[in-house]
Each structure stands twice: as C-alpha cells, then as structure tokens.
Amino acid sequence: MKRRVPWRLLAGIALAVVVILTLSACSATNDPQTTLAQDGENNRRIWDVYWFLWILGAIVFVLVEGLLVFAIVRARRRPRTAHGRPVPVHGNTTLEVVWTIIPAVVLVAIGIPTLQILADLETTPKDPNALHVEVIGHQFFFEFRYEDLGITSTGELHIPADTTVDLDVTSADVIHSFWVPRLAGKQDLIPGRTNHMWLTADQPGDYSGQCAEFCGLGHANMRFAVIAHTQSDFDAWVQQKKNPTAGGDPEAGKAFFLTGPCAGCHTIDGTAAHGQVGPNLTHIASSPQIAGVLENTPDNLKKWLANPPGVKPGTIMPNLGLSPGDIDNLVAFLETQK
C-alpha cells in the first residue's frame, strides 16, 4: 500500500522554502538603505557581535530541535509505562537545575558582547581629526551645526571620508531617530536631552538616511543624506559655506524676506535673518531638494511657497497666503543663494 505524504510535512517544507526565499531577498548590499552593508567602522563593529549572536542562536536551535526529535522518536518506539506514556520527570532536581543553568549561560553569553558593543559605540574612537557636529531634529527635517567650523546645513550632513564624525543629537520638538543604515545604528533625538553617537564612511559617496521614529504626518518624508567627500572636496565645501554669495537680487525679494514673516523662521548668513525654527536657506539654490519632497527648481519652489502644507502634510510652515508677485520676488531672491 502506497503511503501518503503527511500534510504537515508538506506545510513544513513550504514554510521552509518561503523563509529561505525571504532571507535571500534580503541579502542585497547595494540598496540605498540596506543594513547588511558595512560601509563604516560603526556598522562593522555591530556586525561582529551580530554574527556571534547568529552563530550562537543557530547552535542552540540545532541542539534543542535535535533533542526534541530524539525524544519524540525514542518515546514513540520505547514506551516507558504500561499505559504507553513517558515517565513524568516532575521533581527531578538534576534535570531542573540543568535546564535552568543552560539558558542562564546562554543569556550571559549573549549579554556580555552585546553590552560591550553598546559601550563601545557610546565611546568615540580617539581621532585628533574627528569632526564634531550637532544634529537637531525638527518636524520634519534635520539640521546639522558644525560648531567648530561655524557653519550649518539642512537635510545634508557633509563629512570627509575615512574620518570619525562625532555627533551630539537632540530634538527641537518631538522624539526623532537618526539613522543611516549603511553607516551606523539608530540613535534617538529627545527634546531637552543630548545623546551621542559616532560614524565613519570608508569611501566618498552619498548615503541615505531617515528619521526612524514616527514623529507626525510628515515623518515619511523626513529624509536626509550623508555626503562623504574626499578631504580636499570637503574643505572646498566648507569654504563655500563660509563665504556665501553676497547681495540680494532682486531687491524686492530680499526686502520682503527680511521684513516679512520669512526672517522670523529662517536664517540666511550675511543678512539680518536669524530665525531658528525653519531650515537655514543660505545655500537653498544649491540644495538638490525642497523640504525633502520636491526637486529644487524655480517652479517647484513657487509651488512650495504657495501652499507648504499641501505639498508636505504635517509641516510646521503654514500657508502664508502670499501673492503671486511676492512669490515671484522671493523665488528670484532665493535663486541667488547658491
């Protein structure tokens, strides 16, 4: 008589295939925000402990499942009582001590390297050339202040490659989370508190980052980029930031910006506008995006100024009801800020 394959076995095989395919789909390391890439020292240290935990977990899994299968097979073939049931082990002190000690040992083996790597990531490696940056989370953008250099940027963290970047992170409003998956783990930005983290980028390039803590309607659009330069390119970027384009052409746009509601929220270096609520607009014309959601073009800038909440729901920038003439003048002025 032909034996039928148990449906449980088929279901188990199907589940195993799904798990394998899912894991294989997660193996790409060229995705912009993959956590499998090791493009910086911070991520490599995390992966060192991750692989240890993975191997230890695999060993425990094999041992436990092997013992389970052994017990099932042996109990089915060799019943221990007249009723065909295994002998109870309740009250067996030796067994109870063993299965209490083994999990405790496993937890200690997991806990020690985990605590070590957490302490390691809290301590900045000694690097005399380390770059110090203050990261401030806003609804819904990141502001970067290079205190030692006297400059700021919004939406883009510029760093020299192969250099330790020491970050002090905080929030101006609600809890945010700073995350650059290819370079480092997550760090919360909490109002009234300054947390610390560090990262490095092995090679020049652009590394995508985002807020990893739901912080309001605009959370999904709270993205930023870490741009790693060669040292010479980074020095050139710093000089460009320190020497902003002078002037205000057209004058009508500059006058409206400085005397209207704009200057109360935004800063433009070299002018009387020193607002701290919104992004620094000193080099807005050179930024690749507007508010992290629109390509930076004059037409899109007009669209943004006409109705910011309509473009990016949840933004704290209100619809100011600007006239078309005011918008045209502002765009003309802001296009000079390169």
At residue 248, the pLDDT reads 36
Determine, yes or no, domain membership for 147. yes
Determine, yes or no, domain membership for 7. no
Closest to 157 (Cα-Cα) out of 206, 197, 211: 206
Q: Is the pLDDT of residue 115 over 50?
A: yes
Domain containing 307 equals: 251-334
At residue 10, the pLDDT reads 67
pLDDT digits (tens, 9 = 90+) for 196-229: 888 989 889 889 899 999 988 888 888 888 999 9
Same domain assignment for residues 201 and 313: no
Determine, yes or no, domain membership for 20. no
242, 276, 306: which is the final residue of a domain?
242
User: In the sheet that 223-229 helps form, which strands lie side by side, from edge to edge?
Assistant: 156-160, 223-229, 205-211, 176-179, 187-189
Q: Which is more confidently placed, 193 or 150?
A: 193
CB atoms under 10 Å from CB of 288, counted, come to: 12
pLDDT digits (tens, 9 = 90+) for 19-29: 776 766 665 55
Same domain assignment for residues 230 and 278: no
Q: Which is more confidently placed, 282 or 9?
A: 282
Same domain assignment for residues 202 and 98: yes
H-run or E-run covering 229: strand 223-229
Determine, yes or no, domain membership for 19. no
Same domain assignment for residues 193 and 304: no
Can you say how many angstroms the Cα of residue 235 is from the centroid of all Cα atoms in its chain? 26
Same domain assignment for residues 227 and 295: no
pLDDT band at 83 (very low <50, low <70, confident <90, very high): low
184, 217, 242: which is the final residue of a domain?
242
Same domain assignment for residues 272 and 234: no
- Cα–Cα distance measured from residue 159 to residue 36, given in angstroms and rounded to the nearest whole number: 22
User: What pTM value is reported for the model?
Assistant: 0.61
Same domain assignment for residues 215 and 287: no
Determine, yes or no, domain membership for 21. no
Same domain assignment for residues 202 and 142: yes
pLDDT digits (tens, 9 = 90+) for 234-284: 988 888 777 644 333 456 788 788 888 898 899 988 888 888 888 888 888
CATH number at residue 321: 2.60.40.420
